[in-house]
A and B are shown apart, each in its own frame.
Chain A
Amino acid sequence: MEKMSRVTTALGSSAISGRTMFCHLDAPANAISVCRDATQVVVAGRNIFKIYGLEEEQFVEKLNLRVGRKPSLNFSCADVMWHQMEENLLATAATNGAVVTWNLGKPSRNKQDQLFTEHKRTVNKVCFHPTEVYMLLSGSQDGYMKCFDLRKKESVSTFSGQSESVRDVQFSMKDYFTFAASFENGNVQLWDIRRPDRYERMFTAHTGPVFCCDWHPDDRGWLATGGRDKMVKVWDMTTNRAKEIYCVQTIASVARVKWRPERKWHLATCSMMVDHNIYVWDIRRPFIPFATFEEHKDVTTGIVWRHQHDPYFLLSGSKDSTLYQHMFKDASRPVDRANPEGLCFGLFGDLAFAAKESLISGDANRKPYPGGDRRYPIFFFKKPDLTEQFAHVSSALSVFESSLESKRMDWFVKTARLYLLSGKSFAELCDHNAKVAKELNRPQVSTTWTMLRIMFSDPANLSTPGPNHIGKLGTLPLMNSFSMKEMGMGTESRLDRSKGESRQDNIHLELGNSLINNICPTAENEETEGSEGQAEYMFGDAELDDDDLYSMEHDNQAAEEQEYTLPQEAFPLRHEIMDNPLAPEHLQQDKADSPQASGNEAEVMCLTPIESFSLISISQPLFSPHLPAPFFCPVVREMLSHYAEQGDVQMAVSVLIVLGDRIRKEIDDLTQEHWYMSYIDLLQRFELWNVSNEVIKLSTCSAITCLNQTSTTLHVNCSNCKRPMSNRGWICDRCHQCASVCAVCHHVVKGLFVWCQGCSHGGHLEHVKNWLKSSSHCPAGCGHLCEYT
């Protein structure tokens, strides 16, 4: 003991130093505490009770307080505290309910001083008064707190919390008479030590047990609490009602919380289960720990700052039987690994993006968006010391305003409303959708639909619906002879076209109407190239029909760009054969002066055409006239991806649904799911609930269809007492009446219940159906004229 006191004085109050270090204990620790001058630490647990000296390079065992061959349960400590005034005085809380004090100045091996066995259950916490030498407070599982005067053999006062077990008691640092107690039922109580009859104040701090609390060392009103609900809360106790001023959500139940000395906003926490790390939080930045100590391999049970005025040393004990000294400079800083970036859409489609300034300024290509780019540098400087800053993130915020045109999403909404996805034959759906797209001035999409129809319709079906040329033609072989070559050309030209036209306004519509007319001259011109007789025949017909349109079209053309006026190629012939009433615009291309002009631009989804062949291909299809639908699948798949990538996920999903089994297997499920989710999300943002529901219904991804099964609860009120029925749909909790009685048979309806929205009477589906067959009045006799549809 003498040796010990020598060591104590030697280090005295000089600045402490050290490094991150640890030592093995023989047993798991439950709690630790340091002496006032920060030179020694006591570790207590079920099977350990030792004092270690904190030296420069290592921990040195100074004293083993656990003496005797078969130590009693009084040595089995749940908590320990070293007196902050009297360096020889320690107190422990034993699991058997004893409160024990230890006097290191005793000459004998057994340093046990006083033993209080007043608590009936485990004592969870002991706490010395910060300034009063002889005052000790304990909190126990039996729900009582007791205050001991160490000069007496018994407790001087007992405080009954009357709300279950006490988990923590803490004297206020600044308020001589006040202490806080936290309870297993979530309450925190404030007591005046002089008034054992009643608590001064009580409030519910957490759901479930409050494991710990800690007064702020400097700020008199602040109390931090940690609970099983994984929260750390900071309460301002100066006001009349305890006010929660900060809240940190951790990932596991909070076992201990300790304010960091000399740092107003910092506190350290460790958890009771699962998570082994120690975190230091800046309570103003509750989403990411300021610093983390990750050394322990089992849960940390005790943490304590080494010196009450030094924020750089943290000591911790753990169930993994180690005692650590952590240096703050060695802590890992999660914020360094975090991506401080944020992205958000504004109400009108503006996009705000914040990122580290360094990242953005480093980008040479970055062009400030006119009028939309502002920077808000954000700094978190407290002191010049780098390690004490919360990683000074200076972010640049960019706001991208969406341009007028792109802002307008009318086309999306209209398309979504007007598209048909099911309920008709495949060909009709395609036709319908192509028409919708055309009307909305989206020629490329429109053409795509048409193409799809051609590719996937089986000949038999095609002929029937066609109210158009096909009907007239009645020639199936023609459709099938549609060769790959031509496909390619067709697509290219379509792309081409759309580019050109996106700038133009209404021309397209007219063009669309006049397509047929364009075709006709083409056909005529090409006859020489050897087109089939039937085709020729058809064109003749068409020409007659749409003569007037034709002429009109020519007028338009004159006004348009050159492309439109070009002489046509032979190949388009086949396209008309596609029997499309709303034939694709690419036909206009016929007039391009050279086939090359269009062909070169082929990009995305088409096979590259070879111009020189194109003429030949018309007359002599290189491929068998019967191309099976699967043949097109790769092309279509690419096309869908293209659309999706371009942001038109609407097209991708619509095609996916309409094509159904024809294409589904070609695209992997995850991609499909992704498309569906994006589309549904968009639809819901535009409040197109019906469409979104239809899409969900029609999707084949299980992950999507199950969306429809969420939130399908229907809340009903009891027909008897008119109050909401909470549990079951057919029996009321309050009035105990069977609420949903069938108006026809007067029995309870447990299955399908149908009711009139007019008079709210109803009953079994079958009963009501039958009833309304014979009567137009409500079966309940209320006189309402119900209708079953």
Chain B
Amino acid sequence: SFIPPALRRAEGQKRSRQSDFGVRIPRPLGNGPSRFIPEKEILQVSKVDPRTQSIFEDAFAALGRLDNISLVMGFHPQYLESFLRTQHYLLQMDGPLSLHYRHYIGIMAAARHQCSYLVNLHVNDFLQVGGDSKWLNGLDGAPQKLQALGELNKILAHRPWLLTKAHIEHLLKAEEHSWSLAELIHAVVLLTHYHSLASFTFGCGITPEIHSDGGHTFRPPSLSQYCVCDIANGNGHGHLEERRGNHQVSEVSGEVEVLMERMKQLQECRDEEEASQEEMATRFEREKTESMLVATAEDEECVPSRDVSRHFEDPSYGYKDFSRRGEHVPTFRVQDYSWEDHGYSLVNRLYPDVGQLLDEKFQMAYNLTYNTMAMHKDVDTTMLRRAIWNYIHCMFGIRYDDYDYGEINQLLDRSFKVYIKTMVCSPEKTTKRMYESFWRQFQHSEKVHVNLLLMEARMQAELLYALRAITRYMT
């Protein structure tokens, strides 16, 4: 992980001194911040881009650490800045919820996806701001008020369309354990933030911090690498997949060119051939249903490690529950309840400034582009980004009237859809193989970019459902 030179020197000295006294020395496990991306490439970023470097410095100065998530996001400094500002505001600045509540809600949300990385990070923070360690034994140990939030957490994470105003009412009218509207908004923003951040964490294969569980080992480096986190993630077969991945690369050259060609075609023939309205509607429904059926990689049950699962109840409740049954997801028309018009106003009214921060972050993620695709320059990627964004919203049943969902099928191939689907719906099952098998010729920075899109689109989708329920409660 990233350590300023001065500190590194000091640490080195400390280590060597300690070893003289027979103290056990922790060694970093894994290589760099991400299991998917070579360490070299990540560290390169901050050296080349002065802006990234300065953001890193700021982040380090603010928290006294620079987590692996920020390091990986460092590929996209503009976004990172907005992300950190928002996260800092949500966790540290004035807000309706007390500090330890905020971190605990973060833990609850991350645990929902068995993201031990985020859980560990926030367990530390939680204790540091004076949180009661008894709460960490499980949701039962937490105040009733937080327990009541469990249900919302569960629904939001896996099936947000089921959220109704009854859920909101239940939280707001619970006598002495009730939430205020402002607190609830804060909690909702935190929950959605950490659900989607969990997606990002798995999607980019973020490795544990050196100081947290699974981030270090006391064994000499030669022995087999044991990682608590891997067990939790159900993807401990890294080496095998890596070899398989390499093998396939040669077959797929030209993938990028095909994609670009398709984009061009879509752009051109768009005006000529007009699909009928019924056809458009069908396309959306088809995409929606199909997205349910996209198999999320290995379907084997993975048992969440006890360590993490204690932070939430009902571990079996997940996305796939209904996808197998072919349950119908109702359609949410974004034109009737959009973030820009409605969500923003509600959030900003109850939790001032956060609406603005989120708005900037969403826009940043949605509009971010370098006009490149793999090795090609000056490409307008608007279409592709919109397809990804709308595909994710489509999985949540959110429909844009003005979008032709046929485009998705043209632009997103199956392996990419599998990756998106897994990452958004059950991120804990993301594997290195999936990461490698989509868009094989693209740069790592571009894949991180995709991850940012996925993360923000997911967050907005969840937020829209939650805020709509709150609005309905209020009217």
Contact = CB atoms under 8 A, between A and B. Distances in A.
A736 B57 contact: yes
Contact of A728 (B62, B277, B341): B62
Given A95-B335, A96-B401, A122-B401, A733 B58 contact: yes
A253 B401 contact: no
A117 interface: yes
Contacts of B61: 727-728, 730-731
B299 interface: no
B62 A96 contact: no
A184 B276 CA distance: 30
B336 interface: yes
A143 B62 CA distance: 39
Interface stretch (A73-81, A308-316, A533-541, A606-614): A73-81
A121 B346 contact: no
Interface stretch (A268-276, A383-391, A438-446, A585-593): A268-276
Given A95-B401, A298-B475, A731-B61, 20 more contacts: A46-B333, A74-B277, A96-B402, A121-B402, A184-B340, A209-B341, A228-B340, A228-B341, A252-B349, A253-B341, A253-B345, A272-B341, A273-B341, A273-B346, A274-B346, A727-B58, A728-B58, A728-B61, A731-B58, A736-B53
Interface string B394-437: 00000011100000000000000000000000000000000000
B474 A73 contact: no
B176 interface: no
B402 A120 contact: yes
Given A46-B333, A46-B336, A274-B346, A70 B475 contact: no
Given A46-B335, A78-B335, A73 B281 contact: yes
A226 interface: no
B144 interface: no
B54 A736 contact: yes
B55 to A, nearest CB: 10
Interface size range of chain B in the complex = 20 to 34
B471 interface: yes
* A interface: dominant SS: loop
Contact of B277 (A72, A121, A298, A730): A72
B99 to A, nearest CB: 15
B342 interface: yes
A253 to B, nearest CB: 5
A97 interface: yes
A141 interface: yes
B280 interface: yes
B402 A276 contact: no
Interface string A65-91: 000001011101010000000000000
Q: Is the interface of B mostly helix, strand, loop or mixed?
A: helix
A74 B402 CA distance: 10
A274 B473 CA distance: 11
A298 B359 CA distance: 25
A559 B30 CA distance: 99
Nearest to A747: B6
A777 interface: no
A74 B276 CA distance: 10
A586 to B, nearest CB: 53
Interface of B: 53-54, 57-58, 61-62, 274, 276-278, 280-281, 333, 335-336, 340-342, 344-346, 349, 356, 359, 400-402, 471, 474-475
Contacts of A97: 401-402
Contact of A273 (B277, B281, B342, B356): B342
Interface in A723-742: 727-728, 730-731, 733, 736
A297 interface: yes
Interface in A715-773: 727-728, 730-731, 733, 736
Contacts of A78: 335
Interface of A: 28, 46, 70, 72-74, 76, 78, 94-97, 117, 119-122, 141, 184, 208-209, 211, 228, 252-253, 272-274, 276, 297-299, 727-728, 730-731, 733, 736
11 contacts: A95-B402, A96-B401, A96-B402, A97-B401, A228-B340, A272-B341, A274-B471, A297-B475, A728-B61, A731-B58, A736-B57
Given A95-B335, A252-B345, A122 B402 contact: yes
B401 A76 contact: yes
B378 to A, nearest CB: 19
Contacts of A727: 58, 61-62
A94 B277 CA distance: 12
Contacts of B356: 208
Contacts of A70: 278
Q: Which of B61, B280, B356 has the most CB of A within 10 A?
A: B61
B345 A274 contact: yes
Contacts of B400: 122
Contacts of B349: 252, 273-274
Contacts of A28: 336
Most buried by B among A78, A117, A273, A298: A273
A274 B474 contact: yes
In the A-B complex, list the 8 residue pairs whose CB atoms are closest, starting with the nearest. A72-B277, A95-B401, A273-B345, A728-B61, A95-B335, A97-B402, A96-B401, A122-B402
B274 A117 contact: yes
B354 to A, nearest CB: 14
Among A74, A211, A728, the one with the most B-chain Cβ atoms within 10 Å of its Cβ is A728
A727 B401 CA distance: 44
Given A273-B471, A274-B349, A730-B61, A228 B281 contact: no
A356 to B, nearest CB: 34
Name the residue in B278, B341, B359, B474 with the highest tally of chain A Cβ atoms < 10 Å from its Cβ. B341
A126 to B, nearest CB: 15
